[in-house]
Each structure stands twice: as structure tokens, then as C-alpha cells.
Amino acid sequence: MLAPSMPPSAATGKTVRRASELQRAGPSAPAPGWLAVAKAGERNTRSAPARAARRNSAVPCAELVSRRRLGRTTSGQRPPRRCTPAPSAAASRASPATTSASRRARQIAASLRPSAARPATPSWRNTTPASPFGSRAAAASGSGRRTLSVNSHSGGGLRIPRLDLTARPQATSFASMTLPDPIFDPIAENLRRIHDRIATAAIGANRRPEDVTLVAVSKTKPIEAVRAALAAGQTIFGENRVQEAESKFPQLRAEYPDLRLHLIGGLQTNKARDAVRLADVIESLDRPRLADAIAAAIAKEGKTPTLLIEVNVGDEPQKAGVTRADADGFIDDCKSRFGAALAGLMCVPPAEQDPRPHFSWLADRAARHGLPVVSMGMSADFEIAIACGATHVRVGTAIFGVRPPAAHAEAPR
């Protein structure tokens, strides 16, 4: 048995174990003082690697913290938010008191506690990603609300923020990432559909589609709508009023020399000269006084437009046009006065009646007088008119859209 006076420095691991066995064998004997000191020295020897690892890693940690205050590391990258010593195998084996649960608890407490190392001023780390409405500062540390999700507080790698967008910024962001679609032109699409319907109706009536001319009625529509139709290939237009036509078509003729204008509305005698100067076709010749005014205007202007006689096929008192009873005599008078310039007839049938009898009557009357042009049929009935022999159809609403109610004082063209 070892002597009680043996100094602790003489004890070895084997000697300590032997002394412990003897102590257990004879509990009545007091343990020598050097034994406690030897055991403490053994524990210190076993934990020395862990302390050395922590001490060695604390030095670069301090250097990183000092460089963070200067702004950036030597490599040009931002330092991690917290500096945790790099784990080592020896340290993890020799530090049983340091558990993952305790580390996580310290991390949570540190994230909720404001510190000087994590200022509340906006920076690259506490600012939301760029949005259509500009950068938005995130809440400071310890405020109780988080707008960014960070993968790890202790790692020094790349942190990818989780975008927490509201509905409006998200929709705007998605729109900004989508390539713009080609501009959709409803007027061009409507024109294409109308031409398809004209071709179908003509073929169904054993006629050639090219024998039917489309007059796009642009009354009450802005010049931009006319220009869109011109860009789509439509060159023949109809207007009701001379004054409105004057505001649109002179400037358009400079851009589109092949443009042709039909005046299809009721014409006053005092506007006859303007009509002759402006229009290529006047479709509303309906009385002797107007015939006189047009003849005088032709003589003054030195220009002869194509003329159509408007017939009031329904004998409706609110509508313009020569009546059925007077149609034959008026046609003969105009043929003798204007000669080949008188090319045909035009009509607007009663809206509440079947248009077929009226269309058939007009086509038959034009054939009797040897007039090649029959202008009849509008957005609601042009296919019926084609089946009855129309050579010109006047379509407005189906191309340019519904007009304001004030524009419906007359039947829609």
C-alpha cells in the first residue's frame, strides 16, 4: 500500500487506480489527500485537447470580428454574422458538457438579443431583395418579427433569403418575368372574320367572294381606328357626315393614296360641294334638289364622284331616300344627267322586318335599269344581302365595335 506521504507528482495512472481499489476495499481508511489531486490532474489531462482546440480557434475568431468592424474580410466577402469556433473531432469527444441542445438555445437567445455587431440600420443583410417598389428595410434584431429566413446563424456560407411577397408585388414580379405578347389588334381580327363570312356567304350563293366589296363604316370612330383598319389592309370606308369625314380623311389620304371614301348618310344641299370634293362615292342621292346641287358642285370642282341613288324601300317617313313609287322616274332623270357616274342603288331596310323582300326588290330594280352596283346589307344582315345580290356591304359595328347611343338616331350601317 502506498505511503500517505507520497507526493502527487509521483502518482501514475496505474498507481491511482490501485489506490482507488484499496480505498473501495477498505472504506474505513481515509483517502490520502494526494489522491484527489491526482484525479483532478487526470481530468485536466483528458480535457486538455478540448481546451486547446477552443483556444486555437478563438484567435481567428477575434481576427474575423475585428475585420468585420472594418467592413469586409481580406477575401472581399462579408464575414458571418456570428463567429463560432470550427468544430473538431477532439473537441467534440472531450466536451461532453457542450451539447447540441445547449448550442441551439444559445443561438436562439443570441438571435433575439440586440447587439452592436448586428446594427438596426439597413444593410445588405437586413434589406429585402429588390422589388418593383424599391428596397424595404427589414426589422431589426430582437424586434420580434422576421422578414428574411437565414439558413444558419453560425455558418459562413451563402445565405439565400426566402421571398415573402405580398399578392401585388408577386403579381408584378411574375409579369416582369413574362415576355410581352404580340399586340392584339381587334380591328384587324374583326376584319378577317368579316371577310371570311363574306366569302362563305358568296360561295353559298354561287357567287365569287371577290365580287362583294366591303365598306368599313367608321362613323363616330376616331382616326386611330381608321388607321388601324388601313394597316390591316382595308381601304374602303364609309362616313355619314361630311364634317366628320373632313376631320379624318384628308390627312389619311397622304399616307394611303389608295384610300376610298363613301358618303352614306343623308346629305344636305349646302354640303354638296364639300361632298364632291372629299368623297369618291356618294351613296345618298335621293331627291331632285340634291341632284341639282351635286351637278353644280361637279362643275365647280371639276371632279365627278360615283353616285348611288338611295331608295326608301320600306317607305318609312323618318328615313331619307326616294320612295318606291318615285324610284323609276328619279333613276331615269339621274341617268340622263350624270351618265356613267350614276352606278347603282342603295337602301336601308326596315329594322323590324325581314330584309329579304327589300333586298330582292332593290337588286331587281338595279338590274332593270342596268346599274351594276347594289349597296345593301349591314352588320346584322349583310350575309342575307349577299345572298340577294349585294355587290357592296356596309359593315361598321362588327368591325369597330358598338357606337354610343347618340349614334343610333339612324339605323346602324
* H runs (alpha helix) in 256-323: 272-278, 288-301
Q: What local confidence, expressed as pLDDT, does residue 50 receive?
A: 63
Asked whether the beta carbons of 314 and 277 are under 8 A apart, the reply is no
The kind and range of the H/E element at 64 are helix 33-70
Q: What local confidence, expressed as pLDDT, does residue 185 receive?
A: 82
Q: How far apart are CA 354 and CA 11, in angstroms?
A: 126
Q: What local confidence, expressed as pLDDT, does residue 251 receive?
A: 92
Answer yes or no: is pLDDT of 364 > 90: yes
Reduced to 3 states, what is the DSSP secondary structure of residue 385? helix
**Domain range annotation of the chain:** 8-91, 186-408
For domain 186-408, give the fold.
TIM Barrel (3.20.20)
Q: Hunting for cell 345618298 — which residue is that?
A: 284
Asked whether the beta carbons of 398 and 186 are under 8 A apart, the reply is no
Percentage above 90 pLDDT, the chain: 52
Q: What local confidence, expressed as pLDDT, does residue 103 receive?
A: 72
How many CA atoms does the CB half-sphere of 326 hold within 13 Å?
14
- Range with the poorest average pLDDT among 177-181, 255-259, 393-397: 177-181
